[in-house]
Amino acid sequence: MNYNDFIAVLPLIILAMTGLAVMMWDAFEKVPSRSPLLLTVVGGMGAIVAAVANLTAAPVIAFGGLFFSNTYTGFFTIIFSAAAVLSALLSEQFLKEREMIIGEYCALILFSVCGMVMMASGANLIVTFLGLETMSIAFYVLAGIFRKEESSNEASLKYFLLGSFATGFFLYGIALVYGTTGTMNLAEIRTIMLGLAPKPAATYSSLLLTLGMLFIIVGLAFKVSAFPFHQWAPDVYEGSPTVVAGFMSTAGKTAAFSSFILLFPYALLPTAAVHLGSEKIQIVLAILAACSMLYGNIVAVSQTRIKRMLAYSSIAHAGYMLLGVSALNENGITGVAIYSAVYILMQISAFGIVSVLEKSDGNGFELEDYVGLSKRRPWLAFLLAIIMLSLAGIPPFAGFFGKYYLFLAAINAGMVWLAIVGVVSSIIASYFYLRVIVLMYFRQANDQVEVSVPEKINTSFVAIAFAVAALLVLGIYPSLLINTIGYLFR
């Protein structure tokens, strides 16, 4: 135990301490103010700075093999903290209009990010599990934070019951992996899988190990809402507050992917290993990816409510990232990292715009409500159009390069069929993304007087504009992100 271990997990400490501080502030505050929001933003930025500072340090495994601290964890810490800052900024106006106090909300966001960072830096299966639970429990509460609304309660309860069930699978998978390999340490599991360390002959059983991996896949596939473990996603995302749905469907998913990569391509199925059953597990992952992409995109076509449409499209996006995981190679890991960053920007700002446009009485979700938006709210319509183009993966925007790397990874892994499925499902997806643009720009609202409402420059608008600007910059200079990640994951 030494001082450096604490430096290695400094972003986590900053996030947790800020969360506690926000909680205390909320408890002692007489008149609700925006200080908790400010504190959250400062804490998130502090975590980003600490993570950036750690990027240059030598990689360590802190606390006796519990936490990784390397460029991989640094990168994910940065994008999770950035997602938290973005969602906190998007929520201010949204919560104020619904007379909610922002303190509790911000504290929960920060605690869930703590869980995500633990998942991305868990060097031990127990830490991964702890992170998963810390994140999930904060999410269960966040989904039901509008406790007087029935839909919010329903979403929270559904998510809680199904989520705990999936966590049980994950935990049982961990138990089986531990039972066969005799260790929970990912680095030690890796050496056993690579054949560098002897398998514990007394307990090793490839059947139980495969079973354990499948259980872990079930648990994580639930968290990323991959087909066929997706049923909760549309209901939960539709029922929970829009800004929360945006946060859960982006940061929560990418956190699950960050530990997917640590568990599979890194520890349990190392690329170079010739391991009994590894092709089978790869095929399982590939099939999950293919089904998620096709199912999410096909079902999203028939949706008439924008939140449900985004929920189904998020299932498809989980499929794209799962494609990168199933490739089990370097390109796949890079692809997932790039896509995570881009996906967080796209989806959080998409949900952010929906949250700005929805009305406090729970209306404004129908796609019909977006007819003629370009006349009423020209700026928001413009930003949403860019986001939709990026989500569809149209080249000048950042979404394209994320997809490009993922499909490349699948081809490099010799799974051309999977890349073809990905491309076909992207084409299907472009229909419903472009439909939103058509509704906003090329359709006249019949009965409404078209009055242009000037945009108020508030935190939500600034956050959305910032995210879209980042999408544009990353789309026009993709080498910025790709080189950074290439440098970090070398």
Partner 1 sequence: MSNYIPLFLMLVIAFGFGAIMANLSKWIGPKKPTKEKLSTYESGMEPIGTTRDRISIKYYIVAMLFIIFDIEIVFLYPWAVTFDKIGVFALGEMFLFLALLFIGYIYILKKGALQWD
Measured from the CB atom, the residue of 1 and 31 that comes closer to partner 1 is 1
Q: Is the dihedral of CA 314, 315, 320, 324 positive or negative?
A: positive
Q: Does position 24 bind partner 1 by CB under 8 A? A: yes
**Which residues make Cβ contacts (< 8 Å) with residue 398, sequence separation at least 6?**
342, 345, 346, 390, 470, 471, 472, 474, 475, 478, 481
Q: Is omega for the bond preceding 228 within 30 degrees of 0, making it cis?
A: yes
- For residue 170, the minimal CB distance to partner 1 (Å) is 21
Measured from the CB atom, the residue of 161 and 416 that comes closer to partner 1 is 161
Q: Does position 272 bind partner 1 by CB under 8 A? A: no
- Report the amino acid identity of residue 465: A
Size of the site for partner 1 (CB under 8 A): 10
- For residue 23, the minimal CB distance to partner 1 (Å) is 6
- For residue 24, the minimal CB distance to partner 1 (Å) is 6
Q: Does position 201 bind partner 1 by CB under 8 A? A: no
Using an 8 Å Cβ cutoff, are 142 and 244 in contact? yes
Q: Give start and end residues of each alpha helix (H) in 302-415.
A: 306-327, 330-357, 373-376, 378-392, 398-412
**H/E stretch holding 62:** strand 60-62
- For residue 200, the minimal CB distance to partner 1 (Å) is 12
Q: Which residue in the set 1, 31, 201, 274 belongs to the binding site for partner 1 (CB under 8 A)?
A: 1
Pair of tokens at residue 237: 């995302």
**Which residues make Cβ contacts (< 8 Å) with residue 231, sequence separation at least 6?**
162
Q: Which residue in the set 6, 20, 195, 448 belongs to the binding site for partner 1 (CB under 8 A)?
A: 20
Q: Does position 202 bind partner 1 by CB under 8 A? A: yes
DSSP string across 283-299: HHHHHHHHHHHHHHHHH
Q: Which residue in the set 4, 6, 27, 279 belongs to the binding site for partner 1 (CB under 8 A)?
A: 27
Of 45, 148, 131, 135, whose CA–CA distance to 88 is shortest?
45
Measured from the CB atom, the residue of 2 and 56 that comes closer to partner 1 is 2
Using an 8 Å Cβ cutoff, are 365 and 371 in contact? no
- For residue 49, the minimal CB distance to partner 1 (Å) is 23
Question: How many whole angstroms separate alpha carbon 432 and alpha carbon 430?
Answer: 6
Pair of tokens at residue 3: 């001082």
- Tell me the window of 198-206, 259-267, 316-324, 411-419 that interacts with partner 1 (CB under 8 A): 198-206
**Burial tier of 450 (Cβ tally within 10 Å: 0-12, 13-18, 19+):** exposed
- For residue 187, the minimal CB distance to partner 1 (Å) is 24
- Tell me the window of 149-157, 200-208, 320-328, 390-398 that interacts with partner 1 (CB under 8 A): 200-208
Measured from the CB atom, the residue of 23 and 186 that comes closer to partner 1 is 23
- Tell me the window of 128-136, 202-210, 220-228, 456-464 that interacts with partner 1 (CB under 8 A): 202-210
- Tell me the window of 25-33, 242-250, 259-267, 351-359 that interacts with partner 1 (CB under 8 A): 25-33
Q: Which residue in the set 3, 28, 31, 148 belongs to the binding site for partner 1 (CB under 8 A)?
A: 28
Question: How many whole angstroms separate alpha carbon 40 and alpha carbon 37?
Answer: 5
- Report the amino acid identity of residue 161: L
Measured from the CB atom, the residue of 58 and 202 that comes closer to partner 1 is 202
Measured from the CB atom, the residue of 111 and 229 that comes closer to partner 1 is 111
Q: How much of the chain is in helix, strand and coil states, percent to nearest 5?
A: 75, 0, 20
Measured from the CB atom, the residue of 183 and 303 that comes closer to partner 1 is 183
Q: Which residue in the set 4, 33, 164, 205 belongs to the binding site for partner 1 (CB under 8 A)?
A: 205
Of 421, 262, 404, whose CA–CA distance to 333 is shortest?
262
- For residue 368, the minimal CB distance to partner 1 (Å) is 39
Among positions 120-179, residues that touch partner 1 (CB under 8 A) are none
- For residue 20, the minimal CB distance to partner 1 (Å) is 5
Q: Which residue in the set 15, 23, 95, 482 belongs to the binding site for partner 1 (CB under 8 A)?
A: 23
Measured from the CB atom, the residue of 105 and 312 that comes closer to partner 1 is 105
Q: Does position 33 bind partner 1 by CB under 8 A? A: no
In Å, the largest CA–CA distance within the chain is: 77
Three-state DSSP class for residue 203: coil
Of 439, 338, 326, whose CA–CA distance to 393 is shortest?
338
| Residue numbers at the binding site for partner 1 (CB under 8 A) | 1, 20, 23-24, 26-28, 202-203, 205
